Structure formats: C-alpha cells, structure tokens
Amino acid sequence: MVGAPNAGKSSLVNALAQRDVAIVSDMAGTTRDVIEVHLDIAGYPVILADTAGLRPDQIGAEGHEAIESEGIRRALARAESADIKLLVFDGTEKTPDPHTLNLLDDTALAVSNKSDSGGGSAPGIAVSAKTGAGLDELLKVIESRLHDLMGVRTDNPSLTRQRHRTALEEALVCLARAPTAPLPELIAEDLRLAIRALGRITGRVDVEDLLDVIFRDFCIGK
C-alpha cells in the first residue's frame, strides 16, 4: 500500500485488518518503516504492507529527513516487488499525487480514500477508511486479482506466518517417517513430535516449549 503522506494509508490498513495495527496521525510522515499485517482475504493468505508517504521532492540526507528518505526508498522497493500495489490517493485533493500516479501499471489498483469528505478528483475505487464505505467493493476487486494470481481459493485456514508453515512441515516430516520406524517406541516418538509441532500452530504448547522460546528469542537472564 503506497501513496502520498496523509492519504490515509494507515487508516485503510487498520480498516482492512479490522484492528489497530498502524499508528494513525494527522502529522505527515508518521509511518517511517514498512508495517506488515497478515490477512486472510476470501481464503487467500495475504501480507498487506503499509509504507511511508511518497514525497521524494521534499526530503534530504540529514537528520529526520534522512530517516524519511530511507522510509520512502523502502516503500518504493516494496511497491516494485509486490504482487499487487494499492495506490492510495487522497480523495479530497483536487489534483492526484503525481508520485503515486507514476506507479500505475498492470499490478496497481488505484484507491480514492476519504470518500466521506469528497470534493476531489482522485482515480480508482472510492472508499472511506473512516466510515467503511466502499471497502466491500475494494475487497471484491482484490479477491479477483488474487484469484488471477493464485488460482482457485480454498476454504481451509491460510498459513500466513512463516513459523506456522515451518511447524506444519516439521509435523509432515515426522508423520512420513513414523511408518518406517523399526520399533514401536520410535513410531510413538515421531507421533509425539508431530503433535508437538501442530501444538505450536494451535497454541497447545507445554511449559518446557514456552520456556525454550522465551530464553531463545528474548534477552532474559536465566
């Protein structure tokens, strides 16, 4: 998701995620880094990325301006590599942001935010992150794009997190190995390891596993 500062990108991210995942402020440049949120849209696993506002003609190379410059660089890099670009325009502006317009191509989907205020001439689907107007239509268009990219959707739960996919792969390895184990004790051990891996997805994890994660991933003295 890319666009000019204060186009309402973060508000739109929160509206699509149905929770507050990005800081929203009237101050331009609030978002400095890429913020990712994992979503399930019509059965498709999606990573939605909120990015810094595009204003490359107003940035510099020192102090806070240098930080904003890096944020914009990352925003453009993410836009270039994305499967779908949501180009968010401020629907109240009389002239669409030229930096955002420059990103229009076959992978882009233009969105005119702040439709509840109106008065502008921004291109794309009219939505309001504030009131929710137009979000259903936007999601339907996104779903259509996802279908073209990924094929037939599934009603099975989407594994959008790397740790979930890793745990599932571990469980599959254990289940595939169990039938070939020479002893019943080894079969039982493979089944136990598979259940343990699945527990990391469902949240059913024992105390020892939890302590291992805490001491491995956080700076805590033993």
Task: State residue 60's pLDDT score.
Answer: 44
What does 93-124 look like in DSSP terms, one character per residue?
-SS--HHHHTT-STTEEEEEE-TTT------S
**In the predicted model, what is the mean pLDDT of residues 30-44?**
76
Residue 222 to residue 215: CA distance in whole angstroms: 8
Half-sphere exposure of 82 (CA within 13 A, CB side): 29
pTM: 0.62
Residue type, 43: G
Q: Is the pLDDT of residue 45 over 50?
A: yes
Task: State residue 43's pLDDT score.
Answer: 80
The string of pLDDT tens digits covering residues 112-125 is 999 988 777 888 99
CB proximity list for 82: less than 8 A, separation 6 or greater: 49, 107
- With cut-offs at 50, 70 and 90, classify the pLDDT of residue 85: very high
Q: Is the pLDDT of residue 25 over 50?
A: no
Task: State residue 62's pLDDT score.
Answer: 45
Task: State residue 59's pLDDT score.
Answer: 47
Indicate the fold that domain 2-150 takes in CATH. Rossmann fold (3.40.50)
- With cut-offs at 50, 70 and 90, classify the pLDDT of residue 54: confident
Residue 74 to residue 67: CA distance in whole angstroms: 11
| Partners of residue 90 on adjacent β-strands | 113
**In the predicted model, what is the mean pLDDT of residues 169-197?**
90
Q: Is the pLDDT of residue 190 over 80?
A: yes
Q: With beta carbons less than 8 A apart as the criterion, state whether 95 and 112 touch.
A: no
The string of pLDDT tens digits covering residues 124-169 is 999 999 999 999 999 999 999 998 888 755 555 556 567 778 888 8
CB proximity list for 179: less than 8 A, separation 6 or greater: 187
How would you label 69-88 residue by residue, b for 16+ Cβ within 10 Å and e otherwise? bebbebbbebbeebebbbbb
Task: State residue 75's pLDDT score.
Answer: 79
The string of pLDDT tens digits covering residues 8-18 is 888 899 899 88
The string of pLDDT tens digits covering residues 195-219 is 888 887 776 655 555 556 556 666 6
Task: State residue 79's pLDDT score.
Answer: 83
